[in-house]
Amino acid sequence: MSSVVLRFRSSFTLIPRILCNVEKYSPKLAYVSSRFAGHSHWQNIRHTKEAKDKERMRITMSYLLQIDSVIKSSGGIRDPKLNSKLASVIADAKSKNIPMETINRRLTAQDIVDPYVIEIQAPGGVFALVETRCKNVKTTRDKIQALAKKYGYLIQFPYLARFKVSKSNPGSIANEFFEHKGIISITPQKSAENIDAVTELAIECGANDVEETEIDDGVKGFEFHCEVNDLDKVRQSLESRGISVYESYCPYLPLRKVTVSAEDVKLIVEMYDRIRDAIDYADNFYDNCEVTE
């Protein structure tokens, strides 16, 4: 048994079972005249560029919305010198090459939006979470619900991401079936070159756990795990020791996984993509599925 893991920004998602039939197509041969070969080549380049531009825009918007959220949750403090959480998000954005001019424009903007987690439930114990930010949660919820129903999902009531909700209230799926955790990734450095040194560093900085992992294609590094509310404190503690942080984020990790078929990979990816295209901001997707071979 293996898991198929997809990365959307800094989140992990596994593929769930969808109650929908997949139309199967037989392979067909394609012939392209040499007269139009150059045109076809240009079209491929254009489509590749459009895909990269779209992904770049998604990453940029994700950070701009994080800036909105931090400003609003801190009582409107827009100066990163007076708002440590805001400073942390800006540092993350700059590390991903988001232009400072773009960041500064957002710092002076007035259209701040709220963060929400919208919960989706499917048959067989499959649960999915959509992290989104919006002004009108009802409109966003209705759009996601319309798409989710086509795939056999039932949508739950959304709740503000910054509020902790008990199991008996809206938000029970996120609280009961997922663990909301802070994760900080670093690359190997002189001050932390092996797991023993990193473990000692984690204890000093207030992290709960640390593990060696691949943080990017072919790049080995370490992940510090901590409470969501401690993310900024642990990050600042690392940076004060001269440790360069690769990225920091707060994913929802499934506590119990459900086994599903790999045949449904295309369907769930399609649903996630359609949700992302249908609403203004879909920051991350999480679910509790483990895929069979």
- Identify whether residues 81 and 51 lie together within a single domain: yes
pLDDT at 225: 95
- Specify whether 56 is located in the same domain as 131: yes
Would the pLDDT of 180 be above 80?
Answer: yes
Q: Check pLDDT > 50 for residue 223.
A: yes
What Rg do the C-alpha atoms of the chain give, in angstroms?
21
CA 239 to chain CA centroid, nearest Å: 23
Closest CA to 285 of 10, 42, 97: 10
Residues spanned by the domain of 209: 182-250
Are 6 and 58 contained in the same domain? Answer: yes
Residue located via tokens 């942390």: 88
Q: What is the CATH number of the domain that holds 213?
A: 3.30.70.980
Residues 271 and 135 in one domain: yes
27 lies in a domain? Answer: no
pLDDT above 50: residue 61: yes
Q: Based on the fold, state whether residues 268 and 136 are members of the same structural domain.
A: yes
Cα distances (angstroms) measured from residue 278 to each of 70, 121, 146, 225: 25, 19, 10, 33
- How far is the C-alpha of 29 from the C-alpha of 4, rounded, in Å? 30
- 100 and 148 in a single domain? The answer is yes
pLDDT given at position 2: 42
Instruction: With a cut of 80, say whether residue 12 has pLDDT above it.
Output: no
Q: What is the pLDDT of residues 97-145, one digit of tens each?
A: 888 988 888 888 766 667 788 888 877 778 888 888 777 888 888 898 8
Of the candidates 186, 239, 243, 189, the one whose C-alpha atom is nearest the C-alpha of residue 216 is 186
Token reading at 111: 């259209």
Do 159 and 100 fall into the same domain?
yes
- Do 109 and 217 lie in one domain? The reply is no
Classify the C-alpha dihedral 210-213-216-222 as positive or negative. Answer: positive
What is the per-residue pLDDT for 255? 93
- Whether 70 is in a domain gets the answer yes
Do 105 and 3 lie in one domain? The reply is yes
User: What mean pLDDT do residues 14-37 have?
Assistant: 34
Q: Is residue 173 part of a domain?
A: yes
- Cα distances from 221 to residues 43, 104, 174, in angstroms, run 38, 31, 28
Place 181 in a pLDDT band, splitting at 50, 70 and 90: very high
Q: Is residue 108 part of a domain?
A: yes
Least reliable range by pLDDT among 4-18, 88-102, 246-260 = 4-18
Provide the domain count of the chain: 2
Q: Is there a contact between 187 and 193 (Cβ–Cβ < 8 Å)? A: no
Pairing mode, strands 159-160 and 182-186 = unpaired
47 and 134 within one domain: yes
Are the C-beta atoms of 165 and 171 separated by less than 8 Å? yes
Does the pLDDT value for residue 269 go beyond 70? yes
- pTM, whole model, 2 decimals? 0.64
**Of 223 and 136, the one with more pLDDT:** 223
- Which 3 state secondary structure label does DSSP give 26? coil
Tell whether 264 and 155 lie within a shared domain. yes
61-65, 115-119, 240-244: range with lowest mean pLDDT: 61-65
Query: Residue 72: inside a domain, yes or no?
Result: yes
Identify whether residues 12 and 96 lie together within a single domain: yes
pLDDT reading at 207 higher than 90: yes
